[in-house]
Structure 1
Amino acid sequence: MTNKTPTKSALDIFTALIADHNKHRKLLDKIEAADKDARLEHFAAFALEAKAHAAAEEQALYSVMMANPDLTSKARHSVAEHKEIEDLIDEIAELDAGSKKWSEKFAELKHEYLHHIEEEEEEMFPAADEELTTSEERDMGKVFKDRKPKEKAAATVGEE
């Protein structure tokens, strides 16, 4: 599914996450359509955004989900996928953006990332929404919005 429209309060965790996912979809499309020089610029923007998003999401949402026995396995699965995606980003950052290997790895990253966010939006978020209160979701939205800029400032393109 693409470009989902958030339907809840702007302070809601799921609204914030889906808004980021929509931004990431657009960045991935820009990378795919760009020439070599623009590709690097768009990829760097995506890498920082995706890493900051994942770290803030883990702190705001997954930490709460881990404490709920009905949601623990979904949270663990998503955290594992975040690590796989971050590893792919770091691997791509070390490659020549004009190479066939870069294009192949980017195609793999795009496929994996789109699969991940679709799974979150269609399976994980609805399951969490059923278990969590509106107040918890608002609190998590605030944590996410607070943490993401801090995580983005600490993020790197490629391995440290």
Structure 2
Amino acid sequence: MPESIYDALRESHETQRSLCRRLLRSKPGTRERLDLFTGLRIELAAHAAAEERFLYAPILMDDMGLDSSRHALHEHHQIDELVEDLQSLDPRYAAWLKKARELSEKVHHHLREEEKKFFQVSGKILGATKKIQLARQYRRDYTRMRRKLEAE
């Protein structure tokens, strides 16, 4: 059976969860902490851009998906702001770890909500063929965005 948009998204969700867990366990002032944060920042940004283009946008166009897509977009914005906050803090100090915990909690909350609620709502709106087509488009854009962000 061909991959659906939800299979592709869940793969990135698992990566995000793992990076969050590892980041919170990392030692202050280490290269590992910086590398994990960079990896998480890139993963979140590439995933969000591709997901917004190839899942949220089509769902936003349907009355039934309006509220849930707006809510999901709002949470992406909150995550972006937490990442920006972290970039301005020193990763050696407690304030950074506190903000990293906040980011991790927001990411976990968003992924849970998306998988339990948004996927169900959007699943009623999208047809089977569209779900497969969106998976391909998402993957292409996600890969392109990762490359772009890694090069910056």
- Measured against the shorter chain, the TM-score band is over 0.9
Q: Pairwise mapping of residues 144-159 of structure 1 onto structure 2 (< 5 A)?
A: 144-155=138-149
Aligned equivalent of 1:11: 3
Separation of aligned partners in 2, 1:10 and 1:22 = 20
Unpaired segments ≥5 residues, structure 1: 1-8
Aligned equivalent of 2:69: 75
Deviations 1:108-144 (A, max 9, x none): 1011110000000000001111221011111110110
Q: Give how far 1:78 is off.
A: 0.5
Task: Give the letter for the 2:71 counterpart.
Answer: H
Q: Is the 8 A contact 1:65 1:71 kept in 2?
A: yes
Q: Give how far 1:10 is off.
A: 5.3
Task: Give the letter for the 1:24 counterpart.
Answer: Q
Q: Pairwise mapping of residues 4-153 of structure 1 onto structure 2 (< 5 A)?
A: 9=1, 11-36=3-28, 37=30, 38-153=32-147
Larger helix proportion of the pair: 2
Separation of aligned partners in 1, 2:91 and 2:144 = 28
4+ residue runs over 4 A deviation? none
Separation of aligned partners in 2, 1:42 and 1:148 = 19
Q: Give TM-score, length-normalised by structure 1.
A: 0.88
- Identity over aligned pairs, percent: 26
Q: Give TM-score, length-normalised by structure 2.
A: 0.93
Q: Aligned residue pairs: how many?
A: 149
Task: Give the letter for the 1:155 counterpart.
Answer: L
